Every structure is written in structure tokens, then in C-alpha cells.
């Protein structure tokens, strides 16, 4: 089953093996790594750079977020499905686990970072991976049974468009005390945000599950963790260097996994 559509004219894309091509002649090369770049030309695209991707791969490979991954897989396992989209797949840690557990299903992954899409594609040989924006998805309407969102932008209008009626949105979000000790080690003052409302337009909440535990992290692991967060690029060098003197630290990991159903 091919659910891809052309990002320019929205016509179906045919997979020729080395390219994807629509009836209007728009063509997109499939890279040697197996992913296809379907980002719209002429638009400024932002995504994780290779430094952040490498830090995330090192940190996640250490199993530090394995309890979260298990909770996500358990949630997915409870839902009958044939097609799943990891929207904002990053470097492929969660996509890889989903592919390993659910062989034979149609697994898709999307990320705005071409480097991330390339990494995911090299890890997940059976998945269909593309570089594209979650706010401009190159997929046909009503294509997926499940959308997986792990710390990614919430493109609700596109989710509702590409999800089948009754399809599910499985979403992981950090809780207010997530990484609180790391933040305290870096910043003079830490503002703890309140949890946002769980209500999502067009979706009903079916289940939620809190996952919370402590991680004992070395200095190098702390730096990788900090580098893969959105705070890293916004933090000055003086504050970043505070981690140089921290040999190890117990850090709270705290997430909530939400299971929503599309209601319209």
C-alpha cells in the first residue's frame, strides 16, 4: 500500500524503486539510505542537526528511556492496526522498537530533519521514511490507524486529515518535573511549567499512563541528554559549562503517555 502524495500537486506518488514520481512529472529521488526527501522547496526548514542527532542516539542507546519506550509499545500493542506513522521520528529509536515488535505492519516515519530521516531509514529497513514537515504531510487522507508523537510538534489539523476515522493518536509528553535536577544544575532559577490541558480538538482521551523514575547519569550522559533537549541551543556557554564539574547526577525522568481516538 502506497499512501504518499506529491508535496507540490498532491497527486499520488508511484514508487519506481529509485524515485517517487507523480502523474504531473514531479520526481523525488530515494536515497541510498532508503528515505525520500519530500520537503517543500523554497521553504525554510528547521530540524535537529547532526550534533543533536548523535547525542540522542548515544543517550537513548544506553536504555535511559527504555521504560517510556515500553509504555509506548504496550499502548500500541493494545490497539488493532495495520498502518502506523511516527510523526517526528527523530533518529529512529522509537520507530526501530515499533518495527521490531510489530513485523508485517506498515510503519511510516517522518521528520523535518533530513539527517534524522537518513538515520532512521538506516536503522529501520522495513519502514517507509521521508523528510517532510508534520504541518504539510505528504500522505493521502485517511491513511493511518495510529499516529505516534514523542515530544514532537502537535500538528492536529494534519493528524485529523491523515488518520482514519476512529484512528488513534498515541502521544508522549514530558511532565513538569521532567529533568528537574539537570535544569537546576545548569540554571540559576528554574521555572516549573504547569501541565497543559489534556483536551485536544477532534479527539477523545481514551487512556493515560504516567511513567516516572530516576536515571543515574555520568558526566558524558548528562551532556548528551542536555544536548538533545530544546534548551541546549538557547543556553549560553557559561551555563553549559556548569555541567563540566558534575561527575554524576540522579535525574528524574517523568512522562505521560496519552491515547486519543479521533472523534470526527
pLDDT bucket at 214, cuts 50 / 70 / 90: very high
- Any idea which of 130-134, 183-187, 229-233, 241-245 has the lowest mean pLDDT? 229-233
How do strand 27-29 and strand 36-37 relate by DSSP bridges? unpaired
What region does 29 belong to: left with phi over 0, alpha with psi -120 to 50, or beta?
A: beta
Q: Which residues contact 192 (CB under 8 A, 6 or more apart)?
A: 176, 177, 180
What is the reported pLDDT for 44? 56
What is the reported pLDDT for 192? 81
As a whole number, the mean pLDDT across the chain is 93
Q: Is 2 helix (H, G, I), strand (E, B) or coil?
A: coil
Q: First CA to last CA across the chain, in angstroms?
A: 24
**Residues 147-166: pLDDT tens digits?**
999 999 999 999 999 999 99
Q: Which residues contact 20 (CB under 8 A, 6 or more apart)?
A: 4, 13, 14, 27, 28, 30, 36, 38
Q: CA–CA separation, 60 vs 74, rounded Å?
A: 18
Question: H or E element: which one contains 251?
Answer: strand 248-262
Domains of the chain, with CATH numbers? 14-262 (3.40.50.150)
**Residues 4-18: pLDDT tens digits?**
999 999 999 998 889
Q: Is the pTM of this model over 0.75?
A: yes
Amino acid at each position: 500500500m502506497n499512501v504518499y502524495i506529491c508535496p507540490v500537486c498532491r497527486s499520488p506518488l508511484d514508487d519506481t524503486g529509485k524515485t517517487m514520481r507523480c502523474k504531473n512529472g514531479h520526481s523525488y529521488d530515494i536515497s541510498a539510505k532508503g528515505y525520500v526527501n519530500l520537503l517543500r522547496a523554497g521553504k525554510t526548514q528547521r530540524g535537529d542537526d547532526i550534533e543533536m542527532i548523535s547525542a540522542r542516539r548515544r543517550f537513548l542507546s544506553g536504555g535511559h528511556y527504555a521504560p517510556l519506550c515500553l509504555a509506548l509499545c504496550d499502548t500500541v500493542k493494545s490497539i488493532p492496526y495495520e498502518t502506523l506513522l511516527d510523526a517526528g521520528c527523530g533518529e529512529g529509536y522509537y520507530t526501530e522498537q515499533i518495527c521490531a515488535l510489530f513485523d508485517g505492519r506498515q510503519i511510516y516515519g517522518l521528520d523535518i530533519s533530513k539527517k534524522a530521516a537518513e538515520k532512521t531509514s538506516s536503522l529501520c529497513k522495513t519502514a517507509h521514511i521521508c523528510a517532510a514537515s508534520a504541518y504539510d504531510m505528504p500522505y493521502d487522507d485517511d491513511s493511518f490507524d495510529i499516529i505516534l508523537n514523542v515530544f514532537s510538534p502537535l500538528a492536529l489539523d494534519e493528524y485529523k486529515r491523515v488518520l482514519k476515522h476512529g484512528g488513534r493518536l498515541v502521544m508522549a509528553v514530558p511532565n513538569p518535573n521532567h529533568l528537574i535536577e539537570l535544569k537546576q544544575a545548569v540554571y540559576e532559577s528554574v521555572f516549573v511549567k504547569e501541565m497543559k490541558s489534556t483536551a485536544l480538538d477532534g479527539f477523545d482521551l481514551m487512556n493515560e499512563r504516567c511513567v516516572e523514575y530516576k536515571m543515574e547519569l555520568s558526566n558524558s550522559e548528562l551532556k548528551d541528554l542536555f544536548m538533545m533537549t530544546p534548551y541546549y541551543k538557547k543556553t549560553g556557554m557559561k551555563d553549559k559549562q556548569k555541567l563540566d564539574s558534575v561527575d554524576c547526577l540522579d535525574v528524574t525522568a517523568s512522562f505521560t503517555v496519552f491515547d486519543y481516538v479521533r472523534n470526527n
